[in-house]
Amino acid sequence: MKACHEASATQMVTLAMRRLDATIHTSILDVIDRTKYHLLPNTSGASTALEALRYARIAAELGATHLKIEITGDLQTLLPDPIETLRAVELILGTVDTRHLFLMVYTSDDLVIARRLFNAGAGCIMPLASPIGSGRGLSNEANLMLMLEMLKGQVPVIVDAGIGRPSHAARAMELGADGVLLNTAIAKAENPILMAEAMKHAVIAGRYGFLAGAIPAKMYATASSPAR
């Protein structure tokens, strides 16, 4: 894991609050270099807004500044519950001991819920590319493009879940995403360290492609050399 962090050049490492036992002397925190990577605790495993609020209070008590809201609505597909997710954002930001947390919210690719999460105070919107661990890449590019346009200049949009290949990460960045969050694509690759490095280059290439302003796709050929 430490080698993958280095190879990927990641800036942030997410950690499920339910997997963290503060009562034991050794934990996964011991192998995450917090001088290099910002720790992002998450509410993975929560199925209600009240559970997410409990995790938020624990994160705040531990000194966290950021929290990823992740509420599962269906155990087979692991798709997020948009209603409980919105309630969680409203609850957490309305509670004195957690309202200063910067909330990064995992959600579906639905434009309406993304707008409502933003209006509720979410600091970052994290739409799925496809179901968690599926490796299918971007299932709905059209919705992602509309979401990026809708939220442009207001909050970061980080594509989360379903990335399986470097080309998926590059495509998300080409469309204008501010980043990607992934785990399974690296952790379950035959060579995780090499895959981590591949993802780093894919993200960089996709971002450069977006900033460079790619030519629009056309149905017919256009001569690349001027006629005169």
Q: How far apart are CA 35 and CA 33, in angstroms?
A: 5
Candidates 131, 133, 129, 142; CA nearest to 170 is 129
Query: Active-site residue 218, yes or no?
Result: no
The 3-state DSSP class for residue 82 equals helix
Q: How far apart are CA 124 and CA 78, in angstroms?
A: 20
Tokens of 45: 């495993």
The 3-state DSSP class for residue 194 equals helix
Q: Which of 68, 152, 188, 218 is catalytic?
A: 68
Q: How far apart are CA 106 and CA 97, in angstroms?
A: 22
Give the catalytic positions in this structure. Answer: 68
